[in-house]
Amino acid sequence: MVKEGRPRRGSLAFVRKRARSIIPRVRSWPEETGVLGFLGYKVGMVTVMGEITNPHSRLKGQEIAVPATVVEVPPLILRGVRTYRRTPYGARVISEGKKPKEGDFYRLLFETQPKLAGLPKKSSEIIEIGFGGDFESVKNFVSEKMGKEIRVDEVFQPGMLVDVIGVTKGKGFAGVVKRFGVALISHKAEKSRRKVGSLGPWTPKRTPWQVPMAGQLGFFLRTEYNKEILAIGNGEQINPSGGWHRYGLIKSQFMLLKGSVPGAIKRPIKIRKAIRSPKSFHPIKIKEIVVRKEVKRL
C-alpha cells in the first residue's frame, strides 16, 4: 500500500509571530447595540453534565458530559469614550474623553480591576471595548455610567453565543515537525530526519515563503468563534475546596464557557458578542458541574 505523503500540515491562513501584547486586540465588532464585549481571566476547566435540547438531535433528552472553561470576570469601570471617523486611510480618532462627539462609530474605554479577582496582579489596564449605537445612545450611556462599574451580567446572559479572543501559550523556538506537523524523513536519509524534504525548486532561485521553516511557536493572537455561555454567577457557587489549581479562589463573578479557551491560566481574554452566529442554535440545559471531583449545582 502506498504511504500517504503530504509536504506540510500547518495552515497558511494563520500568522505565526508573537502577539504585540498579552492583552488581546479585537479588530472588528458585531453590528449590535450596547456594550459589545468584556474582559476576564482564565481560571481552569471543568466537566458539565447537561441535557441536549435540540429537537432534531438523536440524543435529545439524554445527558452528556461537556468540557467547559471557567473565566473570572470582575466588573469594569467606565473611564472614557473614543469617537472614530472613517477616512480613505482608515479609521481615525477625532475625540477622546468623557463626552462623545458626532462620528461614525464609538469605542468605550474601561479600567480593569484585577485586584478584585483571584490574581496576584494589582495594577489595572485601560482597554477598548466596542459600543453599538448612534450618537444619542452612546451619549446617554456614557453620561449615566461614567466612573461607575459595569458587571458582566449587564452585557451577557446564559445561553448566548460569544467569541473569545486571547493569546495562546508561548512555546518558544520550535522546528518544522512541531511547528507545522511535517512528517519525519526516513531513517535512511542523510544528516537529519526532523527537517523538510525540499526547500523548493531550482528556479526561481529563492526559498518560497510557503516552505515550512523553524521559528516562533505560541504566544499567538487567536480568535475562537461561537462559544456558548453555560452559566454566569458568583465565585462562591463554583469554587472548589482548596481553590483552583495554580489560580486560587474566584472572588468576583465568573462565566462558564463551553469548550476550551486559548491561553494560559490567569491570562486575560476578551469576550465579544458573536460576530457570525449560526442560524439555528439550541443551548445545553445544565444539570450539574464537576469541579475537581466535587459536584456543584447552580
Tell me the DSSP string of 1-27.
-PPP--S--S-TTS--S--S-SS----
Cell numbers at 207, concatenated = 526559498
How far is the C-alpha of 92 from the C-alpha of 259, rounded, in Å?
Answer: 37
Domains of the chain, each with CATH number or no CATH: 34-171+217-296 (2.40.30.10)
What average pLDDT does the segment 85-100 reach?
A: 95
Question: What single-letter amino acid sits at 181?
Answer: G
User: Could you report the per-residue pLDDT of 117-163, keeping only the tens digit for each?
Assistant: 989 888 999 999 999 999 999 999 999 999 999 999 999 999 999 99
How far is the C-alpha of 216 from the C-alpha of 210, rounded, in Å?
Answer: 16
279 or 43, which is more confident? 43
Q: Would the pLDDT of 270 be above 90?
A: yes
Name the pTM for this structure: 0.92
Question: Percent of the chain at pLDDT above 90?
Answer: 79
C-alpha distances (whole Å) from 146 to each of 101, 104, 108, 190 are: 15, 21, 10, 67
Q: Would the pLDDT of 211 be above 80?
A: yes
> Is residue 141 within 8 Å of 103, Cβ to Cβ?
no
> How much is the pLDDT for 96?
95
Place of cell 446564559: 158
Question: Percent of the chain at pLDDT above 70?
Answer: 98
Q: Would the pLDDT of 48 be above 70?
A: yes
How far is the C-alpha of 39 from the C-alpha of 271, rounded, in Å?
Answer: 6
Cell numbers at 4, concatenated = 500517504
Least confident range of 105-119, 125-139, 175-189:
175-189
| Mean confidence (pLDDT) of the chain | 93
Please choose, from the candidates 62, 17, 21, the residue with its C-alpha nearest in 3D space to the C-alpha of residue 285.
62
Q: Would the pLDDT of 262 be above 70?
A: yes
> How much is the pLDDT for 10?
84
Instruction: Give the model's confidence band at 3: pLDDT under 50 very low, under 70 low, under 90 confident, else very high.
Output: low
Which residues lie closer than 8 Å to 182 by C-beta, 6 or more apart? 7, 8, 9, 176, 195, 196, 212
> Is residue 101 within 8 Å of 25, Cβ to Cβ?
no
How far is the C-alpha of 48 from the C-alpha of 284, rounded, in Å?
Answer: 10
Q: Would the pLDDT of 94 be above 90?
A: yes
Q: Would the pLDDT of 9 be above 80?
A: no
